[in-house]
């Protein structure tokens, strides 16, 4: 492993460890769980990321950002039908929250995959 890759991996591990520490105090914090899931994605830990994204949606279905990233993860892992369903749920949540920016992002991802 090159020095550059080692620094990247170490920095990622440090961020994951810090997020895990913060989550000890607030285990259901959607922002922290979402951030941790994104770090797991960067680290190639797709199952860990999926578990965090899914926990976020269980704990707070209105946390709209999670739908997009979970859908993208599902796409990358060959779960197209699950991704489509995730985008549809996310669009419904975004519409209910009147979050048209997120709705449009989810709709774009949905249309790219579904059509």
What is the end-to-end Cα distance of the chain in Å, rounded? Answer: 41
Q: With bands split at pLDDT 50, 70 and 90, how would you rate the model's confidence at 2?
A: very low
- Per-residue model confidence (pLDDT) at position 31: 95
Tell me which residue of 65, 54, 55 sits closest to 103, measured CA to CA.
Answer: 65
Q: What is the pLDDT of residues 3-43, one digit of tens each?
A: 344 444 455 678 999 999 999 999 999 999 999 999 999 99
Measured CA to CA, the distance from residue 26 to residue 11 in angstroms comes to 23
Tell me which residue of 94, 97, 115 sits closest to 86, measured CA to CA.
Answer: 94
b/e string for 26-38 if b means 16 or more Cβ within 10 A?
eeebbebbbbbbb
Indicate whether 84 pLDDT > 60. Answer: yes
- Per-residue model confidence (pLDDT) at position 61: 95
- Per-residue model confidence (pLDDT) at position 87: 98
- Per-residue model confidence (pLDDT) at position 12: 64
Degrees (nearest 5) of the Cα angle 57, 28, 95? 35
Tell me which residue of 77, 76, 74 sits closest to 88, measured CA to CA.
Answer: 74
Q: What is the pLDDT of residues 48-82, one digit of tens each?
A: 999 999 999 999 999 999 999 999 999 999 999 99
Domain boundaries, the chain: 3-114
In this structure, CATH architecture of domain 3-114: Alpha Horseshoe (1.25)
Measured CA to CA, the distance from residue 65 to residue 33 in angstroms comes to 12
pTM of the model: 0.86
Degrees (nearest 5) of the Cα angle 77, 33, 59? 95
């Amino acid at each position: 492993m090159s020095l550059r890759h080692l620094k990247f991996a170490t920095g990622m591990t440090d961020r994951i460890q810090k997020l895990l520490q913060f989550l000890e105090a607030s285990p259901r914090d959607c922002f922290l769980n979402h951030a941790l899931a994104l770090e797991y994605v960067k680290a190639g830990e797709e199952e860990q990321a999926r578990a965090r994204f899914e926990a976020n949606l269980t704990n707070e279905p209105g946390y709209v950002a999670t739908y997009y990233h979970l859908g993208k993860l599902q796409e990358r892992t060959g779960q197209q039908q699950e991704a489509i369903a995730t985008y549809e749920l996310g669009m419904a949540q975004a519409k209910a929250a009147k979050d048209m920016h997120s709705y449009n992002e989810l709709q774009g991802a949905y249309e790219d995959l579904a059509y």
